[in-house]
Each structure stands twice: as structure tokens, then as C-alpha cells.
Amino acid sequence: MTLPPRRPRGTRLSTLLRRHWPLLAVAGLAALVAGCVRMNVHGDPDAWSKAMRERAPVRVATYNTSLYAEQAGGLVARLRAGDEAARNVAAVLQRVRPDVVLLNEFDYDAAGEAATLFQRRYLEQPQAGGGEPLHYPYRYLAPVNTGVPSGLDLDRDGKVGGEGRERGNDAWGYGLHPGQYGMLVLSRHPIQASQVRTFQLLPWSAMPGARQPVDPGTGAPWYPEPVWRQLRLSSKSHWDVPVSTPLGTLHLLAAHPTPPVFDGPEDRNGRRNADEIRLWAEYVGNRPAPWLCDDTGTCGGLAPGARFVVAGDYNADPHDGDSVSGAIRQLLEHPRINGDFVPRSRGAVERARERGLPRQGDVASHTGDFGPRGGTLRLDYVLPSRNLGVRDGGVYWPEPGTPGAEVAGASDHYLVWVDVAEP
């Protein structure tokens, strides 16, 4: 798989500048004078900054890393000991070199120790099969609902909590400990931390027309009313993370909706998945949303005209799989979202051929492989707003035997990236 070159920060560029500084200075002065003439002639004082932005696309990526553990503190222990999967994940990131990346299924700990270990011991160290070390000066992480006890009988087995899966089923989002399957945002550009909005606590029932699960045997709501009124919509969280980029403020809309499986005929996970996806469709919908209140109590959606990228593992394929019909199309066909550009890879085509399962969609767009029974699906998305241009993109899934293929299978998902720029 061939990626557009991204020159790492290093000494080679500075060496070139030293060697050729006289020529560059003359050429730069001439260009600056010419630029000033053009700005005076056309009356456009922003021409220089516009030209610079046009030359500097921002690479945004999402990657479900599968860096989680079944015990609290387990990921920290793995990373301290040296972890092969984490090395391969880092190698993939070093090859693709995104400017802003959302990592799904990266266990959260309040001290951020796992994130620090991953950055210092893996990303910032050269990895076999990777590129040069990669440094992200900015990051965002926050609590998620997975593994957090609800105190309610959410799976209707007649008891609250328990051990193992029983405990996980009664958490606000399925998980064996608080923070399992968390999220982490890494950025080369400053994150506007004071402006971040999170929707961890938003009740599902607050959404108008919510897909409330129904017991097919009785026709009654599957959740008792007191439970339904408390149940949170987001299985992890939904984050609006504003990043200061050369394109201006770019809102990274990050989420990881629940898989639409592991339930019963009431399809409670499928319905929740569809409404978790719908949250972003409503958030960018350019209409009043007084019910859409973040964790600080501020209500309403994203401002019209704001630039954004929806990113994450949305556990919904537009054509195949078990999600509610049309779930991901709520984003792909949204008038404010560019769902036309579809990242692809050759590796996905080869793996789909090996699996041999019937598929209605374009297998080249698939982003994950879930074994002989699950096959390949498109579940991970980087979807820019319509007021951004798309320069390039892809899925990091090289064909077997090609450079980088040896590290690409660190997770059952593959990294998806898109280069956004001025339209």
C-alpha cells in the first residue's frame, strides 16, 4: 500500500536550508514581492494565509487499536512490560503519521498513565515495520460509560451486577471495569480543552423519537419506565474536541457506539447503536436541539458553518452486518457531511476473497475482519463536513507480502485516514 509522503520533523530539512539558504532567500524574497503585488492588485489581504492553508492538508484518522484489558490497570501493566500489539499499533501510526487521530478501544485510566506509556515507549520510539518516531504534544482523554456500574438491572436477569459478563451487562456501557474500551485523541495541533463538549451522561430517553426497545412477546417497552428514564444513550461517550489547525478550528466528533449484537429479539443494542449514530446527525443538523445537553448542562448542537470531522468505530456497515437498516446512512447521507469520498484498500479485497462470505457492499471499503463467521465489514469512518475539501484518504490494510503488512494486523480493525483541506 502506498501512502502520500509526509516529511517527519527532523534534521534533513534544516540541512537543506543551511546548504541552499542564499538561493532560497532570493527566491523567497521574489515570491514575497510577487505575492504582495498580487494582494495589492486583487485587494485580498488574506491571499498569503489562504495559499499556505491550501498547501497544508490536515490528516485525520481513526483506529480501533484493541488495546484493552479485562482487569483495571491491565493495559498499563501490558505497556510497562512491553507489548507486541502496542508496538505494531505504533508502527502503523508511524507509517501513516496522522495529524489528529482518535484511538478507540484504548483503556482509560484517570491518571492517563496508559496514554503516557504508549506515547513515550511506543510512538516516540522507532518500531520495526514503522516509520520514524512520532510525537503528539496534545491529547484528550476522559471517562467513558463502559464498565461503570449503573445500579440497575439492565439485562433483566433479575439481579443487579454480579461477576464477569453479568456485571458488564449492568454497566452503563458493557465493560468489565470502568474505562475498558475507552477513547484517546492525539494531536499535533493544539486542542481547545476548555471548549470540549462531552455527552457521557445524556439519557437515551431525552432524544425525541428514540428507538426504545420493545419486548416482541408483549409489545411493551423492554426497559421498565424508571430504568428507561435513567439509561444513558452513549455506550462510551460522545466527544466534540475542537482542534486549532492550519484550516482553523476543526471539531473532531469522536464516538464508539455499541455493537448491534449480543442482545435478543428486542434488539436493544441494535437500536442503541442506531441512536448513538443519530446523536451526531442531530448535533450537526442546523436546527434547534434543546434536548441535546452536554455534561456541563450546555444544550444545542454545533454552530452552522463550523468545520468538523466525524470519526470512530461506529459498528455499522451501510450494506451488510447486523445494524439497524439505515443506521450509518444517517451520517453518510447527511446534507452537512461528505459521505461521497470512500477510503479503500487492496488488503480488504484480498481478505474478503479469503473469507468468501456474500457481501452487497464494496469490500474495498471494509475496515475490519471479524473471522470466518463475521467476515469483513466497513465499520470505521472519517467523515468530513461539506465545507472541507478532501485531498486523499485510505484504509491502512496492505496486501500480504507488501511493505507494512506485517504490522497492519495488530487489531481486528484497520486504521482509516483522510486528508482534509480548503475546498
How confident is the model over 153-188, as pLDDT tens digits? 999 999 998 999 999 999 999 999 999 999 999 999
Q: Answer whether residue 280 is part of any domain.
A: yes
Q: Please tell me whether residues 273 and 380 are part of one structural domain.
A: yes
Residues 15, 91 within the same domain: no
Q: How far is CA 386 from CA 70, 120, 268, 284, 390, in A?
A: 40, 36, 32, 11, 9
**Domain with 310 in it:** 58-144+179-421
Rg of the chain over Cα atoms, rounded to whole angstroms, equals: 23
Per the CB < 8 A criterion, the answer to whether 399 and 350 are in contact is yes
CA–CA separation, 345 vs 330, rounded Å? 24
Give the DSSP H or E segment for 249: strand 248-255
Alpha-carbon torsion (28, 29, 31, 36), positive or negative: positive
* Residue 164, domain member (yes or no): no
Any domain includes 167: no
Bridge partner list, 377: 368
Given a cut of 70, whether residue 40 has pLDDT beyond it is no
Answer yes or no: do 367 and 224 share one domain.
Answer: yes
List the Cα angle 138/331/289 in 5-degree steps: 85
81 lies in some domain: yes
- Both 32 and 130 in one domain: the answer is no
Same-domain check for residues 235 and 309: yes
Residue 158 lies in a domain: no
Is residue 170 in a domain? Answer: no
Whether 39 and 117 map to the same domain: the answer is: no
Alpha helices (runs of H) in 43-73, residue ranges in sequence order: 47-54
206 with 250, same domain: the answer is yes
Dist. CA 274–CA 257, nearest whole Å: 8
- Are 76 and 124 within one domain? yes
Q: What is the dihedral of CA 143, 145, 146, 150, to 10 degrees?
A: 130
Residue 340 within any structural domain of the chain? yes
Would you state the pLDDT for residue 23? 36
Tell me: do 65 and 34 sit in the same domain.
Answer: no
Find the mean pLDDT for residues 312-316: 98
Instruction: Give the bridge partners for 67, in sequence order.
Output: 106
How many independent structural domains does the chain possess?
A: 2
Residues 39, 78 within the same domain: no
Residues 270-289: b if buried by 16+ CB within 10 A, e if exposed: bbbbbbbbbbbbbbbbeeeb
Percent with pLDDT over 70 in the chain: 87
Q: How far apart are CA 181 and CA 72, in angstroms?
A: 11
Rounded Cα distance, 270 and 249, in Å? 33
Specify whether the CB–CB gap between 139 and 194 falls below 8 A: no
Same domain (yes/no): 307, 399: yes
Q: How confident is the model at residue 39 (pLDDT cuts 50, 70, 90)?
A: very low
CA dihedral 4→239→152→67, nearest 10 degrees, is 30
Residue 14 has pLDDT above 70, yes or no: no
CATH number at residue 397: 3.60.10.10
387 domain-assigned: yes
Give pLDDT tens digits for 339-393.
999 999 999 999 999 999 999 999 999 999 999 999 999 999 999 999 999 999 9
* 59 phi and psi angles, rounded to 5 deg: -90, 120
* pLDDT tens digits along 78-127: 999 999 999 999 999 999 999 999 999 999 999 999 999 999 999 999 99
Q: Are residue 262 and residue 411 in the same domain, yes or no?
A: yes
C-alpha distance from residue 247 to each of 196, 244, 280, 422 (Å): 18, 8, 22, 7
3-state class (DSSP) for residue 147: coil
Instruction: Write 241-245 long-range contacts (CB < 8 A, 24+).
Output: 241/140, 241/185, 241/191, 241/196, 242/191, 242/192, 242/195, 242/196, 243/100, 243/138, 243/187, 243/189, 243/190, 243/191, 243/192, 244/189, 244/190, 244/191, 244/192, 245/58, 245/99, 245/100, 245/189
